Structure 1
Amino acid sequence: MKKIIITILFVFGSVSLQAQELYWETNVTKAIEVSKKTNKPMLLFFTGSDWCGWCIRLQKEVLKTPEFATWAKQNVVLVELDYPRAKAQTNEIKQQNAQLQQIFGIQGYPTVHFATVTETKGKVNFQSLGNTGYLAGGPTAWLGVANGFLKKK
């Protein structure tokens, strides 16, 4: 009987975790298409995923929480722009990320930009709604700041 209960709890726990999984786009062109279709701004997460302690902390304390997952699914298109030291990346992704780092003037990690996109004569223009980084206080504090930026939309 105990084995059955443990198995049931494991299955429901796995389903619950899968429901909270978020999709982070790494190709900004695809993210722009989704943003246009859904009329949601993009959340661009500039990170050094395999070396930046504050990036890892932001992920653990906010970006991988159920509260953030629920909020993100309703409000934004998630884009991860990674600048790893040890992880392999394609040259296309490296070039894209370097270009976006310049466009947004990224000087440190983690930096999270909220932006909408317009196209004029085939040229993509990002309209920044604001940016933040790591904030103490977990998802409640971080989402409070994020919601302030989204009100500008």
Structure 2
Amino acid sequence: MKKIILTVLVVMSSLAVQAQELKWETDINKAISVSNKTKKPMLLFFTGSDWCGWCIRLQKEVLKTPDFATWAKKNVVLVELDYPRSVPQSDAIKAQNAGLQQAFGIQGFPTVYFATAKQKNGKPSFTGIGSTGYVAGGPKAWLAEADKILKTK
């Protein structure tokens, strides 16, 4: 009987993890559209996913946790802006990400920027809310920092 209960618990928890899977947009125009429809700000994650140690650490310790997934679904539209060294990207994504890096003045990775945007004459016009990076202390500490930023909007 204990084995059956344990098996059921394992299956249920794996389903809960799958249900927590998040949608990270990579197309800024699509993200702006979703943000405007849902009335949620965007969380722009500037990352070097295949070379930046702090980016990988932020992903592992915060962005891939159930606490973050629950918070993100309620509060933000997720946007990943990646600057990989060995993972191929389309020229359009490279150009988009380079432009956004310049527009937001991103000088280091990881940087997480919270913003809203409207389309004006076919180009995005951003309103920044605030930014952060890696915050020690796991998901609770990072989410507390993110909540402080979002309360200023």
- Report the TM-score when normalising by structure 2: 0.93
Aligned-residue offset at 1:34: 0.1
Counterpart check, 1:17 vs 2:17: yes
Give the SS at the match of 1:40: coil
Count of residue pairs the alignment pairs up: 153
Aligned-residue offset at 1:131: 0.5
Q: Tell me the equivalent position of 2:61.
A: 61
Check conservation: 2:25, 2:78, Cα contact below 8 A: yes
Q: Tell me the equivalent position of 1:8.
A: 8
Q: Tell me the equivalent position of 1:110.
A: 110
Residue type matched to 1:48 in 2?
A: G
Change (3 A) 1:24 1:90: same
Give the SS at the match of 2:44: strand
Aligned-residue offset at 1:77: 0.1
Determine the C-alpha separation between the residues in 2 that align with 1:88 and 1:2. 48
Aligned-residue offset at 1:118: 2.4
Structure 1 gaps of 5+ residues are none
Q: Which moved more, 1:21-30 or 1:3-12?
A: 3-12
CA deviation map 1:67-119 (0-9, x unaligned): 11111000000000000111111111111101100000110100000001123
Aligned-residue offset at 1:5: 4.9
Identity of aligned residues (%): 69
Aligned-residue offset at 1:139: 1.1
Determine the C-alpha separation between the residues in 1 that align with 2:91 and 2:18. 31
Equivalent positions of 1:36-75 (< 5 A) are 36-75=36-75
Residue type matched to 2:86 in 1?
A: A
Determine the C-alpha separation between the residues in 1 that align with 2:123 and 2:49. 30
Residue type matched to 1:103 in 2?
A: A
Structure 2 gaps of 5+ residues are none
Determine the C-alpha separation between the residues in 2 that align with 1:144 and 1:6. 34
Equivalent positions of 1:56-135 (< 5 A) are 56-135=56-135
Determine the C-alpha separation between the residues in 1 that align with 2:129 and 2:21. 25
Aligned-residue offset at 1:121: 4.3
